[in-house]
Structure formats: structure tokens, C-alpha cells
Chain A
Amino acid sequence: MLDKLSNAVGISGYEEEIAELIKSEMEKYTDSVEIDTLGNVIGLKKGNGKGKIMLAAHMDEIGLVITHIGKFLHFVSMGGIDPRVLLGQEVIVVTEKGKYDGVIGAKPPHIQKPEERKKAIEIDDLVIDLGFPEEKIKEIVKKGDFAVVNVKFTELANDHVTGKALDNRICVYTVLETMKLLEETFCDIYFVATTQEEVGARGARVSGYKIFPDIAIAIDATFGLSKDSKEDTFKLGKGPCIGLGPNISPKVFELLKKTAKKEKIPYQIEVLPGMSGTDAVSLQTVKSGTATGVVSIPLRYMHTPVETADLKDVRNCAKLLKAFISSIDEKILEGLKCF
């Protein structure tokens, strides 16, 4: 399933394909699934109706939006992309007429001037080459169509995996795995694959308003420790990161930590002093407020075609979320507003 999720396409605002995939999978484990005005996929697993818990994992990925059609395609980015990683990258252009393979071309070193190679690439310098004659391109591609990197999900050594859009498909996968583990619950559980998180947690705002949960947990990717990113990053394989800071309810934080300790699930703590940069930013201030939590999977090389994660973290995260949900009772729900 994770491979299908990673390979499926869907940038912010264009999530139909990934939404369909998630919807059919969710239908196996929920009482109902619907799609709201902004395209969020909302699955409901009824409990005893005593409270509402929402798990939100965004399904949109970053990508490119085609701005001009000619012999080559010009584009801008949807979400934050380092343009330097695009040079020499294969892409898939998604149009109404179908998907087409293309390349973001790189001048061969033979004809480059030495100074050129020292200059960093900017997005305006890049174009997509479909290799078709111009008339054909004009027929099939329209301004506003999108493209994603053409990278197929693959396993690496040591339970590690790599693929495009692991931010945030690996967390969508984690939520689906959590669903499978859940039995009867005290609360009604809403599993939401949100849209447009990469452009400002927009899907979460409207789905959060619609559901208005007591507790809302955003499951997202965080920065994984790697050779060139040693500060403020988290080791892969050492467990999910539990967020701590103003964007997180201190009660939800304590409960997540307590649950992890009790179930002997490895975890790390991520200090988020301002806003978390996840769906929790929107979810926390819906109506008269919700008690939010942020649980993250460490991911190396975020927002590049080679995002890498550890499946151990996925399994531990699902265990943690399941145990957390199972521990919610009347007393805890009442205590959320006690400060």
C-alpha cells in the first residue's frame, strides 16, 4: 500500500487520484467515508459517541504547475522546492489527456562554460522537455496542468524506504495502519486525509470546522538526521517525534508521552516554539479551539525526490496512535479544558 500511496499523484489542489486511492482503502476500516468541499477525505469510525478524535495526515505533495506551453514547458512550484534538485530530473506531466514522461533537462558538461557550472539553478532557468513536436504538446498540455517527479518507491537496506511524496504519504500510510489496529473506541474517530497542507494547512481548516473534534492530532513528516543536517533533526529508527510547544495541548503531549512510555514505544521529543508548520496550526484555532497534538515521522532529504524514512518508525507510530486513542476516556475529555 505504501508504494501505491507514494507513487500516486496529487499536488495541492489536484488531489483527486490520491484521494480515490485513500478513500477505497479507508472504506475497508470505517463506517463511512466522504469527501468535503475542499476535497478532504473524511473517514468515520464510530465509537460510543462520547467525544471526537481527529487524525489528520495531508495527502497533497509538492510539485510543479505548468505556466507556459511551447516547445518546452515552463513552470512554477506548488509548495517549497529547492530548484537545484530538479536539474536532470525525470518528471511526469499530468493532463486531462493522460500522463506523459518528461525530463527537466541539463546541458551536457561538454558544452558548458566553467562559470556556468558554479551558478546555482533558479526555477526560471528550468523547463520540461516532453520530446514531442510543439503542435502535439499544445494539443495535450494546458496552462495549469501539473507535474511531479518521476520516482518509483523503493526499499533500501535496514527497513528503510525511499520514494517521492513520503512527505506526507508515509504518514497517510501510518494512519491507515492505525485504523487496522483499532478495536472498539470510546470516541468517534475521524481519519482525515487533508488537502492543501503544503500551501497553508487549508484543507485542515475547513475539515476541522466541519468535524470540530475535541482532540486533533496532525501526523506529518519532520526533519531526519543526515550527514549534512545534524542540528535540530531526528534520528531515523528511534521512534516517532512527539511535538511540544504552544501549538500542542500540554495535556495531549503528556498523554502521548505517558502512552509511549507505558507501551514501551520508542519516541523522541520535538520542541516547536512557534507554530508547528503542520495541519495543527489550522486545527488548533477552529471555532472555540481544539486540543491538538503533533506526531511526526523523521524523514531525510525532505521535499526532494529522494525522501527516505524508516518503517520501524511507521510501525511504532501506529502503535502509539492506537494506544493513545484507546486510552481516552470521559475523565480525560473533561480535563482538556482544565488549566
Chain B
Amino acid sequence: MLLKELSNANGISGFEDEVRDLIKSNIPSYRTDILGNLISSKEGKGLKVMLAAHMDEVGLIVRDIDDDGYVLFKKTGGIDDRVLMAKRVVIGKNKINGVIGSKPVHLLKKEDLKKVVEYNKLYIDIGSENKKETEKLVKIGDPIYFATKFKENGYNFIGKALDDRVGCSIILDMLKKDFSFSLYGAFTVQEEVGLRGARVVAHDIDPDVCIVLEGTFASDTPDIKEELQIPKFGEGPAVTIADRTVICDPKLVKFFEDTAEKNNIPHQIKRPFTGGTDAGAIHLTKRGIPSGVIALPSRYIHSPASIGNKEDYKNMKNLIYRILERLESEKGDFYGH
């Protein structure tokens, strides 16, 4: 499945090349813009519909190489420092293997176990003898990725960057279908560092309506209070009412929900006013673009290993398709129409 290749492909904010190249090889025509956004479009009549998903994942970047040859790094995008300890990573285009080192428990004092080690105190060991040897393989500014390999079974899949390779994957599927309106698939850059790519793509294309396809966090894990456990893993794609960057037009949200109900697609609401997506940048562009967000609830996003549910993925794909189908035959009554 293409999702496997997308998840395994590497691309942090500003360095999305591998993901971009992979997507390019799966679409008949495309263009890129000055920020590196990838746009594939199919001309039609009437409405201009844009689907957006971001190509970048959260990761690390080489800040310096110390005198002993260890690699020091910074974070790109939001990562909890605590998930970094003792993880396998891969550096740069040449995929140099490395490990984020961690002190053996035998050598730790009791108080150490209570402390959080911040990212700027961590380091990567690539096995080299000294600084010179490391410098032959690793450069300052090289991107660093979690070395997670995609795996799946009948129920779910485990991989890195489900946020937002699932979105990219579904857009590729939609571009294979034919609709009477003009459909733009926008694979954006730099979402994780401030919704940057989406802003310029929206200015350029200026669609009538936009649906952002995302990977969001599933909240049904033991460390979260029962009242806050939405959306849940396995209960369908999550529709955004509002997050921290956008309050979706209620009429557009209703359009999505009605479509799901009419087609018996399980769906849920994303926890209001949490997180942010490209819709935040898109909806405020020019005179305003009605924008909605539909996301796959995955557990443990922004960490080395997230889990997504196969049924949820299928249902999300189906929901997007039904919404587009509906846009073909009836105009939504969201503002601007």
C-alpha cells in the first residue's frame, strides 16, 4: 500500500524532497511553487475544490558535531523531549544510522530517574571514533528522522509520520477519480513549523472551498481523563468543529456530518480547540476560504511510533469521496456561495 512508502519516506519541515519525489512519481502532472509545495490539479467546471495535506513530519536537525564525534541536534516541530531517549534514528540523504544515547539504569542515581533530559542535553552516536570521522558522514543542517519502519496487520498499522502521510495518501486516491468540478491536490510544506506552505498555496489557487486531510491524536489512552477522550481510535474519522487555528463554518461541518450519516460512515468530533492545521492559514487567505478538516485519529502522533486503525482509514477515504461526490451535485450553503 502506498501509505507504507509514504510513512517510510523522510521529510522534515523545509526538507520534504523524498516525500515530494515519491508523490510526484504517483501523479500524472504537477507543479511546484517557490516554497516547495506540490500541486496537482484536474480542470473542471464551476467550483474550485482544494484538498490539502502536509508532506512534512516532525523530526530533528543536526546542530553541531562535538569534539568526540557525537551529533548534537535541535527539534523541528513539536516533539515531547521524553520520547527521544534511547531511540534509533537515521541521518540525512545517505541515511546514516545512529542512536540517541541513554545512560544505563545501573549507573543512574535514584534522583536521575525523576528528571526529564532536555533535547539539548541529548546526543546521537553514529559509532564513529572521533569528530573527523563523523564529519565525513554527517553535515551540520542534515535532517534526522526516527528509524521507524511501517508495519501492518488486519486491524491496524504502525509507522512514523502518520500525521500527515495518511492525508497525502488519500489525496492521491481522490486525484485518480473524476469529478465535474476543478480539483486541486495541494501537498503542502512546513505545516509543523507554522502552517507556512498552506498560506502561499491558498493565496495562489484561491479555491471556493478547501478540505484539509490530517492525522490527529486519538485520545483514548489511560493517561487521559475520561471526559477528554475524544476522538477515539476505531470510531471513525474525526471532523473538526474548531481547533486553535480555525473555527470551521458550522454549515460546512454540518455538510460533512450529514454526508457521513447519509452514507452510514462512522465519524466523530475532534476535541474542540486543540491542535492546529493548514486550515488555520487557508481560511484567512484573501477574502476568506471556507475550510474544513477531516482527520484520522491515530495514537501517539509526534512520536517515533504511531498507530492508525485500518477501518478508520477506509472510512475516512470513503467520507472524503462522498463529500466530493456531493459537491458535484449540490452546492453547499456555506458562506461565499
Contact = CB atoms under 8 A, between A and B. Distances in A.
Given A246-B196, A288-B204, A271 B141 contact: yes
A288 to B, nearest CB: 4
A175 B200 CA distance: 28
Interface in A254-305: 269, 271, 273-275, 284-285, 287-291
Given A271-B61, A275-B194, A250 B14 contact: yes
Interface stretch (A89-97, A187-195, A331-339): A331-339
A131 B33 CA distance: 59
A228 interface: no
Contacts of A214: 34
B34 A246 contact: no
B32 A274 contact: no
A284 B200 CA distance: 9
A290 B196 CA distance: 12
B203 A284 contact: no
B76 A337 contact: no
B14 A247 contact: yes
B36 interface: yes
Nearest to A281: B194
Nearest to B190: A246
A248 interface: yes
Contacts of B33: 288-289, 337
Given A232-B63, A274-B193, A274-B194, A246 B76 contact: yes
B63 A289 contact: no
B140 interface: yes
Contact of A275 (B17, B189, B193): B193
A337 B62 CA distance: 26
B24 to A, nearest CB: 9
A13 interface: no
Given A246-B13, A339-B36, 10 more contacts: A247-B196, A250-B14, A269-B141, A273-B76, A288-B34, A289-B203, A290-B34, A337-B31, A337-B32, A338-B32
Contacts of B75: 273
Determine the main DSSP class of B at the interface with A. mixed
Contact of A288 (B61, B194, B203): B203
Contact of B14 (A232, A246, A285, A287): A246
A244 B15 CA distance: 10
A339 B194 CA distance: 21
A284 B195 CA distance: 12
Contacts of B15: 246, 250
Interface of B: 13-15, 17, 20, 31-36, 38, 56, 61-63, 74-77, 120, 140-141, 189-190, 193-194, 196, 199-201, 203-204
A245 interface: yes
The 6 closest A-B pairs by CB, nearest first: A246-B14, A289-B200, A339-B32, A288-B204, A273-B76, A246-B13
Nearest to A287: B203
Interface string A213-244: 01000000000000000011000000000001
B128 to A, nearest CB: 20
A289 B34 CA distance: 6
Contacts of B13: 246, 273-274
A337 B140 CA distance: 25
B74 A337 contact: no
A291 B34 contact: yes
Given A246-B190, A273-B75, A285 B141 contact: no
Contact of A271 (B32, B62, B189): B62
A249 interface: yes
Most interface-central of A249, A275, A291, A337 (chain B CB within 10 A): A337
Contacts of B20: 339
Contacts of B63: 232, 271
Contacts of B120: 231
A94 B198 CA distance: 43
Contact of A337 (B14, B34, B196): B34
Nearest to B281: A285
Nearest to B75: A273
B14 A248 contact: yes
A216 B243 CA distance: 32
17 contacts: A214-B34, A244-B141, A246-B14, A246-B190, A246-B196, A247-B196, A271-B63, A273-B61, A273-B193, A274-B194, A288-B201, A289-B33, A289-B200, A289-B203, A336-B34, A337-B33, A339-B17
Contacts of A231: 120
